[in-house]
Structure 1
Amino acid sequence: MKSNLLSWIEEGNITFPAVLLSQYRNVHLNEYELVLLLNILSFIEKGNAFPTPEELSSRMTISVLDCNDMLRKLVQRGLLEIIDEVSSEGIRYEKYSLKPLWERLVDQFLISSQNDKEKSKKAEESDVYTCFEKEFGRPLSPFECESLSMWMDDDHHDPIIIKAALREAVMSGKLNFRYIDRILFEWKKNGIKTIDQAKNHGRKFRQKQTQHRTKQEESYQPSSVPFYNWLEQ
């Protein structure tokens, strides 16, 4: 009895992508079809590449007729393929291939990844608008919204860099779109694409400034540290 149980346990495992379990609904498989495909894969890995509907249904709770109908529909939907092969002895035979299923899963993965990227991009862009409205203390005008959109869509400025330019303008006491646009122009011209590069670039310019800020600038920013005036470029 014990030896029989051990033999049953040692029957082996099947290997399949874990993504199949998480994505089978997205490729329009139900649980019966999923188990059917897993059984086909199990037979293939044990050397039987073309199990009969009888063999498959004996492992499931569906009839041979239902199993045969399910196999036909999976082939029609492009999730299972029947391939004609010729052996080395010249004998023709058929076998199942799950390659169409794997290709469908890859396509689904790429679509999901693209959707995630688009959602992340929209969230970042929305955060940019929120940051600007917070610093300006009011809703942005249509013209200002259009400027933000152009910076991201036409000039391809990263939202992080746009927010960094906004902070630079706030620190300099020159909170207006013309000033921020100039900052972004200078950064792009100098190949600045990261926050650290932007900080280093601004620091170098500020070190070159020798004149004190005007009283008007001091009213915006009480710090005695001179800030680079991007509009004087």
Structure 2
Amino acid sequence: MKDKEIMIHWMEQGSTSVPNVLLENYKKLSLNEQEMMLLLHIYSYSQKGILFPSFEELSNRMSITASECAGCVKKLLQKQVVEIEQGSQTGYESYSLEPLWNKLVALFESEARGQSVQQAMTEEKDLYSLFEEEFGRPLSSIECETLALWIDQDGHSPSVIKAALREAVLSMKLNFRYIDRILFEWKKQGIKTVEQAREQGKKFRKPAAMEQVSRSEQAVPFYNWLEQ
């Protein structure tokens, strides 16, 4: 066979595009290399319009027997990464890899939730450290409980609580009662982001600053949240 004919033959055979996400994560789905290769062959056949290749056809591409292919397919069915569907119109059976793709999606969602939980735990840990740094001492058990209530019960994010702490530092009123009042006002006004909190702080500090400057250029005024 001439080189040109070989190239034409290769082109006619087509190619199979394997998602990298499958190659990178099949181990996490408890699939071994033999099962993975069998899935790839089923996938390859489906791209050629052969939706239900026989065990003999599959084994001809692999180094296992048709009987071993049958056993491997059975394991894939048990692991719920492949299904055998019955065509409603044609009546023919076919392999479906939809369960495999669904498992990959579920894996990503689970990992994303895990990352979110880990991030939240890190942010809370940083929050406690920041409070202790600003207060210059370890927090009491009541103060720790108050921090937890701000997050769990009141629904404030660690970043917003940090912004409230910053307001207390700027106002030179570093105590939990003052910070709690700031968070209460922000929640009442629908403030949920750091950007909104900063704008709110600027809005209240600006008129106070103008009034104080007219009285004395030495003082640096701040908005008193406790007077709200």
Q: 1:14 to 1:190 in 2, by over 3 A?
A: same
State the identity %.
Answer: 50
Q: Which amino acid aligns with 1:45?
A: Q
Indicate whether 1:79 and 2:81 are aligned: yes
Residue 216 of structure 1: aligned partner: none
State the match for 1:148 in structure 2. 147
Q: CA deviation at 1:225?
A: 2.2
2:159 aligned partner: 160
Q: Could you say which residue in structure 2 is the equivalent of 1:217?
A: none
Secondary structure at 1:25 match in 2: helix
User: Aligned partners of 1:93 and 1:196: how far apart in 2?
Assistant: 60
- Give the AA of the match of 1:105: L
Partner of 1:129: 128
SS of aligned partner of 1:96: strand
User: What is the TM-score normalised by the length of structure 1?
Assistant: 0.87
Q: Which stretches in structure 2 are left out of the alignment for 5+ residues?
A: none
Q: Please, which of 39, 45, 48 is the counterpart of residue 47 of structure 2?
A: 45
- 170 and 45 in structure 1: CA distance in 2 versus 1, 3 angstrom threshold: same
State whether structure 2 residue 221 is matched by structure 1 residue 226.
yes
Cα gap change, 1:86 to 1:184, in 2 (>3 Å): closer
CA distance in 1, matches of 2:58, 2:4: 26
Distance, in Å, in 2 between the alignment partners of 1:37 and 1:148 is 51
Q: Specify the code of the residue in structure 1 equivalent to 2:78.
A: Q
User: What amino acid does structure 2 have at the position aligned with 1:41?
Assistant: Y
Root-mean-square deviation (CA), in Å?
Answer: 1.9
TM-score by length of 2: 0.89
Q: Tell me how far apart the structure 1 counterparts of residues 24 and 206 of structure 2 sit (CA, whole Å).
A: 55
1:116 aligned onto 2:115: yes
Q: CA deviation at 1:87?
A: 4.7
- SS of 1:95's partner is strand
- Whether the aligned pair in 1 keeps the contact of 2:212 and 2:219 (CA below 8 Å) is no
Q: Deviations 1:62-88 (Å, cap 9, x if unpaired)?
A: 232221110111112211111122555
Aligned residue identity for 1:203: K
Q: Distance in 2 between matches of 1:69 and 1:7?
A: 36
Please point out which of 15, 20, 34 is paired with 2:22: 20
Question: In the aligned structure 1, how far is the partner of 2:9 from the partner of 2:156?
Answer: 61
Q: 1:21 is aligned with what amino acid?
A: L
Tell me: CA distance 1:227–1:86, structure 2 relative to 1, closer, same or farther (3 Å): closer
| Structure with more of its chain in helix, by fraction | 2
1:197-208 aligned at under 5 Å gives the runs 197-208=196-207
Q: Which residue does 2:168 correspond to in 1?
A: 169
Shift of 1:231: 1.4
Moved more, 18-27 or 44-53: 18-27
Pairs aligned (count): 220
After TM superposition, give the deviation of residue 114 of structure 1 in Å: 1.2
Q: Give structure 1 stretches of 5+ with no counterpart.
A: 213-222
Mapped to 1, the partners of 2:88 and 2:189 lie a distance apart of: 63
Q: Distance in 2 between matches of 1:130 and 1:31?
A: 47
Q: Give the AA of the match of 1:6.
A: M
